[in-house]
Amino acid sequence: MDIRETYLPGIGKKFQIKSRGGDVLIVVVHDDGRRECYMEADRDNDFKPVFSLDDDEARMLASIVGGMQYKPRALENIEMVLDDLIIEWYRVEPTYKSVGSSIGQLGVRNRSGASVLAVVEKGGATKHINPGPDLVLTEEALLIVAGERSQQKAFRDILKNGCE
């Protein structure tokens, strides 16, 4: 992926993004907070405007594109592989049996070997970085968990099935 930044005096900043697939996308961040997205057209045409968003809308879109909103359902989608270590995001669905149990009660470390790096409670209001064993999992909380692939798998089972 190739990103080129250009300063547009009096307007803002332009990011030209060329994806591995060959698509050229241009995002213009206006000084007044607006974002405009353009796609490449042929030589004699202007770049084609695709959408225009206000600042808050753009942040929302970024979180959707970035996978913060939906990703946990497709559990293996977002992962950063550092050799064997994988960091994954999980969302605690209301149907999960682990809701209401603390990390210590679930025995996360002993049973799976994975480690909970952070917990963001529903709505993002409360964040626990490096939570202790007393932290109780709530519905729709986001968990960021580090571990090897097999440990992640074990952790997912614990999350779904609780203390069984």
Partner 1 sequence: MDHLVMEIGLAIGLVALAGILSAKLKFSVIPFYIIVGMLVGPHAFKIGHFDFRFVESAELIHFFGRIGVLFLLLYLGLEFSVGRLIKSGKSIVVGGSIYIGINFTLGLLYGFLTGLPLSEVLIIAGITTISSSAIVAKVLVDLKRTANQETEMILGIIMFEDVFLALYISIVSGLVLSSSSSLGGVLLSALIALVFMLGVLIVGRKLVPQLNRWLDIRSNELFLLIVFGSLFLIAGFAETIHVAEAIGALLVGLVLAETQHAHRIEKLILPFRDFFGAMFFFSFGLTIDPTALGGAVWMALGAVAITLVGNFAAGMLAGRSAGIPPYASAKIGLTIVARGEFSIIMANLAMAGGLAAIIQPFAALYVLILAILGPLLTKESKWVFRVLDPIFKFNARYDRRQQQAPETSS
Q: Is 6 in the site for partner 1 (CB under 8 A)?
A: yes
Question: Which one among 3, 8, 64, 163 touches partner 1, defined by CB under 8 A?
Answer: 8
**33-62 positions binding partner 1, by CB under 8 A:** 36, 38, 43-44, 46-47, 49
Q: Is 64 in the site for partner 1 (CB under 8 A)?
A: no
The interface region with partner 1, picked from 7-15, 60-68, 70-78, 86-94 by CB under 8 A, is 7-15
Q: Is 2 in the site for partner 1 (CB under 8 A)?
A: no
Contacts of 109 (CB under 8 A, 6+ apart): 115
Dihedrals phi, psi of 67, to nearest 5 degrees: 85, 10
Residue count at the site for partner 1 (CB under 8 A)? 18
Question: Which one among 7, 65, 94, 123 touches partner 1, defined by CB under 8 A?
Answer: 7
Q: Is 22 in the site for partner 1 (CB under 8 A)?
A: no
Q: List residues near partner 1 by CB under 8 A.
A: 6-12, 14, 26, 28, 30, 36, 38, 43-44, 46-47, 49
